[in-house]
């Protein structure tokens, strides 16, 4: 009988810096046994600090420009950087905790037929983040971390990162 081996997948884990990043790292046991590439959107001047950090042991870290919805040029630069990463990595799975960078990543992932996962930040206790609302359409697994924000059509509640 042939022994079935679970093939390693290429996982792209994308988020902005700060809380989003902390939450993504907290989720990493769920995908740590695959080939993981972390992408962090951080202001350029701080990028080196993340490259040197011990946060995501074993995983490769790529830093990209940070931008939010008030900075259209920055958003386009970020999207271009992400497209390049997607061409190189060809991920099987894309996971994000937010924000704008993660939304783009989940869209690109869906477009390229990767499995996509959006975990809306625990910071969004009253309503989903703007990127979280938009990401629902593109995420195969769409989660909120607050039970009162769960709906029949998603997002779903499956506990939180604490």
Q: Which residues bind other proteins (CB under 8 A)?
A: 6, 9, 11, 17-23, 25-31, 34, 43, 45-46, 49-50, 52-55, 66, 68-70, 93, 95, 115, 117, 119, 121-126, 129, 140-141, 143, 145-146, 156, 158-162
CB of 121 to other proteins, least distance (A): 6
Q: What is the rounded distance in angstroms from the CA atom of residue 94 to the CA atom of residue 103?
A: 10
Q: What is the rounded distance in angstroms from the CA atom of residue 27 to the CA atom of residue 19?
A: 12
State which residue, 45 or 73, has the beta carbon closest to other proteins.
Answer: 45
State which residue, 1 or 162, has the beta carbon closest to other proteins.
Answer: 162
State which residue, 84 or 97, has the beta carbon closest to other proteins.
Answer: 97
CB of 62 to other proteins, least distance (A): 17
State which residue, 41 or 82, has the beta carbon closest to other proteins.
Answer: 41
CB of 38 to other proteins, least distance (A): 14
User: Angle 29-132-93 (CA atoms, 0-180°, nearest 5)?
Assistant: 40
CB of 79 to other proteins, least distance (A): 19
State which residue, 72 or 84, has the beta carbon closest to other proteins.
Answer: 72
Burial of 141 (0-12, 13-18, 19+ CB in 10 A): middle
CB of 85 to other proteins, least distance (A): 19
Residue 113: count of CB within 10 angstroms of its CB:
8
Q: 116: which strand partners?
A: 94
Q: 11: which strand partners?
A: 36, 93
Q: What is the rounded distance in angstroms from the CA atom of residue 142 to the CA atom of residue 101?
A: 16
């Amino acid at each position: 009988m042939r022994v079935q081996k679970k093939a390693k997948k290429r996982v792209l884990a994308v988020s902005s810096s700060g809380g989003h990043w902390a939450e993504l790292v907290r989720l990493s046991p769920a995908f740590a046994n695959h080939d993981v590439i972390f992408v962090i959107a951080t202001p350029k001047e701080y990028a080196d600090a993340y490259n040197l950090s011990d946060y995501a042991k074993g995983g490769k870290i790529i830093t990209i420009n940070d931008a939010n919805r008030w900075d259209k040029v920055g958003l386009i630069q970020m999207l271009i950087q992400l497209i390049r990463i997607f061409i190189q990595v060809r991920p099987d799975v894309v996971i994000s905790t937010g924000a704008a960078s993660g939304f783009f990543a989940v869209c690109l992932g869906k477009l390229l037929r990767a499995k996509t996962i959006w975990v809306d930040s625990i910071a969004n206790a009253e309503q989903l983040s703007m990127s979280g609302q938009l990401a629902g359409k593109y995420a195969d697994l769409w989660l909120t971390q607050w039970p009162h924000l769960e709906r029949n059509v998603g997002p779903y509640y499956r506990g939180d990162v604490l």
